[in-house]
Structure 1
C-alpha cells in the first residue's frame, strides 16, 4: 500500500494570516503537530488574492483555493470541496473545522480516512434575510457532517450541551478539548498611560463581540485617568466590522484607544498594560483572548453564553454577566479590578494548566492516533 503524503489534512475556510479564534485553533494545532514531526496539510480558501495558492508556513503545507466571490462572511470557492477530498485521500485523517457550508459536500461520499470535526460554535450572523438563509444552510451542512464524523471535538461540554445541534453531537463520540492558548506573560506595559483603571478588549471588531455594550459600560466610569484599550482587526474581517461605531465613540470619549490588529510581542505588552479584560460578546464559543489574559493573571468579565463563560467557570478568575447589560458589565469590571495578587496568581496557574498549548496538542494527538493508528509518532 502506498504511504500517504500527509498524516493529517486540515480543512478550514479561513487560514493564516487571517486572524480569528477559529482560525487560530486550526493554525496552532496544525503547526504544533508539524513541530512534533507530523506531516500536515491545510486546505483553505484564498481569502486574500495577494496570498500564494501553495506555500509552506511553519512546517505546514498550505493549499489555498481561488475565491470567485464573497457573500458576507462566506466565500464562493468552487474548487474547495474537491481539493479537500483530494488531499484527504493522500492523508491518514481529515480534520474539519465547523461551521462550514461545504462540509456536507466534502463528506457526502465516503472517504477512505477517518473524519474528525471540531465544532466551534453555532453560526451567528446579524439579522437579515440573506443571513437567515445562510445560517440555515450551514446548520444543515454541519448536522450532516457531524453524523458522518468518527469523533467530534468541542471547546467544552458547556458549549456542546447548549448547542442547537446537541442531539447530533450527543449521537457521536464527543471529546472536549479547550482551544489552545499561548502563554503571553512577561510583556511590558507599553500601552499603559496613567495610574487609572485600564480595561482591555482584544478580538475581531465585529457585531457578535458586543463592543457597543462595553463602550457604554466604560462611559459610566467617571475617572478621567481610566482607559479603554480596544485591540483587534477591523480592516480585513469577514462580513464587515463595527469600526465606524467604535471611532465615533472614541471621538466622544478621549479615554478610548483603538489599537488595531496586534501580533506577537504586541499582544504580550497589551496584556501587561491592562487591569481587567472584557469580553462583552452576544455570540461566543470560548474566547481565546480572555483565556490568554487569565494566563497572565488578568481577570476577565464575560457574558453568560454557553462556551464563552467556560474559561471563567474553569478558573474562577473573573465574573459572568448577562449579555447586553452595560450596568452589570461596569459593576463587574470595577469589582474584579480590585482583586489582589494572590487571587490573580492562583487563577493564572489554573488557566495555564487548563488552556496551555502543550496539553491541547497532547489531547488532539491522542484522539487522532486512536482513530488512525498509523499516526503514532
Structure 2
C-alpha cells in the first residue's frame, strides 16, 4: 500500500487565525504551525508570481526544523482533527516521527493561462525551474500542478501547446488538471503518461462541462492494470522518454466505449491522440510506483462561475461526501507509491477541517 499525504492548497490565509492557527499568530509562523499538522502542502502563490529560489529555500528550512506529524499509512498515527469545542481543530498528538515534508507547487499563470510560445515559453519554463530548484534538490518536490482554465479546450493548437509545455518542464514531476471536460478522454491521459505527466482527479461541482466527482471506484480499480495496455501507439510522441523523476497518475478510456485511432498531425506533432467523438468517459489509471493526485475544490455550484476565489471555494464537506472517496482512495493507494490529496476549499479553515476529517475516515479501525 502506498503512502497517502493529505494537506491543503495554500496555508497562508489570515482567516485561518483562530479557526486553525492560534489567535495572534503572525504570518511568519503559519508554515511552522501548518507543518505540525500536515506533512504535505500545495503551494499556490506561485500561480500569481514566479517562485524564487531564496523563498523556497526558507520554506524548506522551516519544515526541516519543525517535524510534521500528520501522515497516513502509519499505524501509530493518533486520531487527528477532533473538535475541541472551541471552534479549533485538535492538533495531531505528539509521538509520530517526522518522515519528511513534501511540497506540490502550482504552475505560474504564464504557463497555464497566458500560454506563451517559442522562446518566451522556454524562458518562463526555465525561470520556474530555477525557482523550484531548492525543493527539487532537497527531494521534497512531490508535484508541479499545471491547472488549466475552463477556457482551455481540446483543440489542435492547445494540444500542441500542452506538448511543448510538458517537454519544457520534462525534468519536473508534472500533474495536469483540466477544468474543461472535453480533455477527459483516454488518449489525452495516455499522451500525458508518455510524457511522464499525470492527470489530476478532481472533486468539483456537478455542472455541465466540468469534470466533477464522478470518478467511480470501479473505474479506479480498472486503472491498476492499465500499465499492461502498453504505449499509446496512436500518439506521434509515444516514444518520448518519460519523466523518470516522478511518474504520475494517468487515465485510460472506458473499455466499453470504442476509441478511434487518430491520424497524427504531420505538420506538427500534438500532445495527445484524438478519441472517438462519443462522450468521454474518464477512467483514473495508476501505474505501479506512481504518484497520484486528487484535488478537492468543494461543490459550490451557485458561486462557481460568478464567484470570487474565496466564494467559489467556500464549501464545507459533509462526512457523507468525504466517505464517498474512501474506497476510491484505497484503490489508488494500493496501486501507487504515494497519493497526494489537496483540499482547496480554504475559506475560514474549511480545507483543514476536511483534510483532517478525511484523515480520520481513512484511519484503520481498531479491534475492541
Considering fraction of residues, name the structure with more helix.
Answer: 1
Considering fraction of residues, name the structure with more strand.
Answer: 1
RCO (CA 8 Å, sep 6+): is it higher in 1 or 2?
2
